[in-house]
Structure 1
Amino acid sequence: MQNHTGGTQLLVDKRAFPILGGELGNSSASHLEYMESVWPKLKAMHLHTLLVPVYWELLEAEEGNFDFSLIEALLDRARRENLRLVLLWFGSWKNSMSTYAPSWVKRDTARFPRALDEKGIPQEILTPFSENNLNADRRAFAALMRFLKRADGKYKTVIMVQVENEIGMLPSPRDHHPLADAAFASQVPEPLLDYLREHKAQLEPELRAAWRRNGFRNSGSWAQLFGGDTTGEEIFTAWYFARYTNAVAAAGKAEYPLPMFVNAALNRPGASPGEYPSGGPLPHLMDIWKAAAPNIDLMAPDFYNPHFQYWNDRYTRQGDPLLIPEIRFDTDAGAKALYAFGHYNTLGFSPFSIETGSTKAMENLARSYDLLAQLGGHITAGSIKEGVWLTRENPQMAFTLGDYHFTAKHEFTLGWSPGSEAETWPEAGALIVQTGLEDFMVAGTGVVLTFAADGKRAGIDTLEEGEFQDGKWTPGRRLNGDQSHQGRHLRIPGGEWQIQKLRLYRY
């Protein structure tokens, strides 16, 4: 895996990043007529990139016969709309299950065997231990990538590909197919042992603890090295899912070497492997995936829980780049996007089922994406910036940019805004970019910023609202009076989405 390089190889086309994205609902891209009704909604949200499923069952309804008409039509329309695409390969697994495998795979369980739970009951999951399963998937994926090179290599409409979707074993920690049982009883593969030895001091703490409990052994079975409990079973599961996925990715990259990633269904607090998809590309298993899948460029979280900062911190704690390819499309998505681009320098952000969000969620995301698009070159990987995301539970954040210390607070902390006494507050966010020694751009909604400096007081020299038009700053109102509380703070009211240009000074 190339994550440890910092993701620089992903920037194959600087125009494509950062990804201001949205993911189509799972079935939306399967009908061209439906897609025609979706385009006007997408255009209104200032998307740069659309994440779109590609279905094995539609691509290869008959074994060996491939139909690329849906993808061809999608490529054509995306180019007309000036959109980039990220394709999501729904091959062997989608949300752990094998529901998008073709009928000729589903119905022939002798040739294409299923995973078994601990009671020997077959699951709607293709076992990753079958060569037939793997070969059928990678042939189809290679055909897809070969088509993309021929149809899109010149245009580069497709910028990335997701391989499979939310991989993991359910409802048990590991597969109990006879092939899996034999593999679990066998020796841990030498490539994994080499990786463990080389990265021993930097391993994810959960993996290192499991290995340490068993004496940091350098050989033995999976149970001997990592335990025969659910911990050891999940590590084993992760290795074989990752190896399978790596082989699919390798077959695709041999045809057309686009950046490729995997996504994870995040485990819930207190849940055990098998209660969540066991063995997926989760933070505590990142080292297993890195060792097993060198053709996967990064791992990414899918968000359907409130612990946004916690999971992003975990995915980036080894220095890996962050991508958020799927997140619940709530009204807070716009604020979270500002935070993710500012604080984590994320490669991209993409709410799920972008075409069916509520009116308010769509409006907030569109206004957030509009601000991000205006900032453009100011939010590249090398820019000096920070992001904030504020709620009633976490109403304040502090950070430093250059010589100045900032405190960001939710607007409702001022006490005079209507609704500040409510049980819940609208989530607020901002992205702050340093453009000079004393100069900053602040884009966001519902935030209040105050400033300090070492040894002196910090004040507002000039503050104005405005917008970028064709990359050039066009100023609006000067805000040095009532709007800044006579120089006490910078404020962007809730319900408004603004860019303010700030110059500080010390006295």
Structure 2
Amino acid sequence: MVSVMKTSANVFSIAILAATLALPGARSQTTASIPHLEKRGATTQLIVDGHPMLMIAGELYNSSSSSLDYMKPEWKQLADMGINTVLTPVSWELVEPEEGRYDFTLVDGLIAQAREQHVHIVFLWLAAWKNGVSSYPPVWVKRDTQRFPRVIIDGRPTTTLSTFSSALREADAKAFHALMEHLRTVDTDHTVLMMQVENEVGVLGASRDHSPAAEQAFAGQVPEQLMSYLTTHKASLNDELRTLWDANGAKTRGTWTEVFGDSARADEIFMAWHYARYLQAIAAAGKSAYPLPMYNNTWLGGGDTPPGNYPSGGSQPRVIDIWKAAGNSLDMQCPDLYASDFSGWTSRYHRPDNPLFIPETNGGSTGAANVFYAFGEQASLGFSPFAIDAGMHGDTWPGLSLEKITQGRDELAASYHAIAQIEPFILTGQQSGDIHGFVLSQDHPMVDFVMHGLTVHVSLDQIFGNGAKSGYGLILEESPGHFLGAGKGFRVSFTPRDTKAPEVGIASIDEGRFDNGTWIAGRRLNGDESDQGGYWRFDQREVHIERVVLYEYK
């Protein structure tokens, strides 16, 4: 179906956008059934049709979903992997090929194809920016450099649109609002769960934009809204941001250099504020039509890497508070997490005011391990490796053979199928806090958790000299003395923390699976499979789901 609509040039004004910027995003359409984020127990979860869910997800190649014919054979393969949610672009250039004319043929087709396989969608609104540059706006935007000015670096214009353009913000917001109005009308069964607003925004090649409007803003005062937020939240600010502010006198007013110093870090804060204000406005415009959860994603910069080598102004951990100060229409700032320190980065984004969602990350064997940590230890809303459709058309990824891609996809699918079976238990464990996830290696061979008076010691399974080189999984407590686990390559022992308490032993270990929520027991594991009752073991050869029951003795 083609859905084409015209709008006048005055549908939105910047004044209207500013008025909606601070709203939670609800209007009269809001009901409990619309997908939304909700605090439940110890965590925030995605609620769909009244029930929490995990997004066991994957993101497509950038261009896959631009053709329904290309996508048609992929959906079943994705569903067969255990995926319940697909992240896929919907681009401004295809939605509004001519100004004021909207074409939702592709959007409707993707939703229909996803429904056939009972798979959900998260749409990625690729509009003004993707990976810090502007390749996805319509050509009528790209051509009009007077109305839509560009980022200036070293005195020369770039192809990247400037966030200081009110005309750009208004045009982008109109298109996004039209898309959200359309989704509200056509997606009554909530196939679409969330929206990503833009993609990895920020300035590449310099620490800030030097266009005339940007120079004027940089010479001006730091906005009162930002200073008020920083002052009110000073005790909980990111340590690096607070230290920088203190080092420059902790001023409560002044220019950007007066408050934050004359450095690339001050430039980054300046750009973070202006990108955040832009994206908050786009999200507010969309939510005024249909208030789905919305987030932005971040190209991470590590260590002392100067801003501009990564998009300067994106929501790095040190400037998340700047993004929070800019409004609340964006529900989350999220990491595109390809870095090796998976646990460190997830902990920096999982904050009391910022639920964790991982929209892009590594797949294959790395993803097969990290997904247990994300859901089990960091209460992530979802986990989504990029290029999830690699190899589905016989194509390869640079440096990887089709055989290697298939092997990696099978490893990830094994983890996904296990997690899908125990999803209700994971969600309950996230709410109560009685769940832990882990990734083990020869450099990090063990970890301890405290669960209801017990020290739960998890280590690589190295019994009988047949040592695992890696292991991963999660453990949750179903009830006192009853634990459920999933993963491979590790073993578990239990010790009372109170030295006066009775000792604990393993009463039984059962492997099995869940079929539509019903436990189907397999082998009763004893003898060598439990090291003669000494350990709860998870064989390194494949992912297992197991239950253990403990007993006390003196």
**Normalized against structure 2, the TM-score is what?**
0.87
Q: List structure 1 runs of 4+ shifted beyond 3 angstroms.
A: 1-10, 12-16
Name the residue aligned to 1:366: 413
* Structure 2 residue 539 is the aligned partner of structure 1 residue 493: yes
Identify the match of residue 443 of structure 2 among 393, 400, 408: 393
Name the residue aligned to 1:107: 143
CA distance in 1, matches of 2:423, 2:310: 38
Name the residue aligned to 2:176: 141
Does the CA contact (< 8 Å) of 1:4 and 1:319 recur in 2? no
Alignment of 1:78-89 (within 5 A): 78-89=114-125
Does the CA contact (< 8 Å) of 1:16 and 1:84 recur in 2? no
CA distance in 2, matches of 1:94, 1:13: 31
Identify the match of residue 458 of structure 1 among 491, 504, 529: 504
Report deviation, 1:332.
Answer: 1.9
Report deviation, 1:10.
Answer: 4.5
CA distance in 2, matches of 1:265, 1:295: 21
CA distance in 2, matches of 1:17, 1:342: 14
Does the CA contact (< 8 Å) of 2:196 and 2:295 recur in 1? yes
Report deviation, 1:504.
Answer: 1.3
Report deviation, 1:268.
Answer: 2.5
Name the residue aligned to 1:200: 234
Name the residue aligned to 2:519: 473
Identify the match of residue 55 of structure 1 among 87, 91, 110: 91
Alignment of 1:170-249 (within 5 A): 170-249=204-283
What's the secondary structure of 2:529's corresponding residue?
Answer: helix
Could you tell which deviates more after superposition, 399-408 or 317-326? 317-326
Amino acid at match of 1:369: Y
Alpha-carbon RMSD: 1.8
What's the secondary structure of 1:332's corresponding residue?
Answer: helix
Report deviation, 1:319.
Answer: 5.3
What's the secondary structure of 1:428's corresponding residue?
Answer: strand
Name the residue aligned to 1:36: 72
Name the residue aligned to 1:441: 484
Q: Deviations over 1:328-371 (max 9, x none)?
A: 22312111111111101110001111111611221122111111
Report deviation, 1:139.
Answer: 0.9
CA distance in 1, matches of 2:352, 2:251: 24
* Structure 2 residue 472 is the aligned partner of structure 1 residue 429: yes
Name the residue aligned to 2:126: 90
What's the secondary structure of 1:331's corresponding residue?
Answer: helix
Amino acid at match of 2:426: I
What's the secondary structure of 1:87's corresponding residue?
Answer: strand
Amino acid at match of 2:146: A
Report deviation, 1:13.
Answer: 3.8
Name the residue aligned to 2:355: 321
Amino acid at match of 1:80: E
Report deviation, 1:294.
Answer: 1.3
CA distance in 1, matches of 2:144, 2:459: 59
Amino acid at match of 1:33: D
Report deviation, 1:4.
Answer: 11
Does the CA contact (< 8 Å) of 2:358 and 2:380 recur in 1? yes
Report deviation, 1:403.
Answer: 2.3
CA distance in 1, matches of 2:142, 2:353: 40
Gaps of 5+ in 1: none
Amino acid at match of 1:391: S
CA distance in 2, matches of 1:335, 1:89: 29
Name the residue aligned to 1:330: 364
Amino acid at match of 2:141: V
What's the secondary structure of 1:345's corresponding residue?
Answer: coil
Gaps of 5+ in 2: 1-21, 25-36, 392-404
CA distance in 1, matches of 2:79, 2:193: 19
* Structure 2 residue 479 is the aligned partner of structure 1 residue 416: no
Report deviation, 1:14.
Answer: 4.9
CA distance in 1, matches of 2:516, 2:273: 48
Does the CA contact (< 8 Å) of 1:466 and 1:475 recur in 2? yes
Name the residue aligned to 1:375: 422
Does the CA contact (< 8 Å) of 1:434 and 1:441 recur in 2? yes
Q: Deviations over 1:286-340 (max 9, x none)?
A: 1100000310001111112211011011112445311011102231211111111
**Normalized against structure 1, the TM-score is what?**
0.95
Q: Deviations over 1:9-49 (max 9, x none)?
A: 84354546211111111000001111012123212201111
CA distance in 2, matches of 1:88, 1:14: 24
Amino acid at match of 1:472: T
What's the secondary structure of 2:355's corresponding residue?
Answer: coil
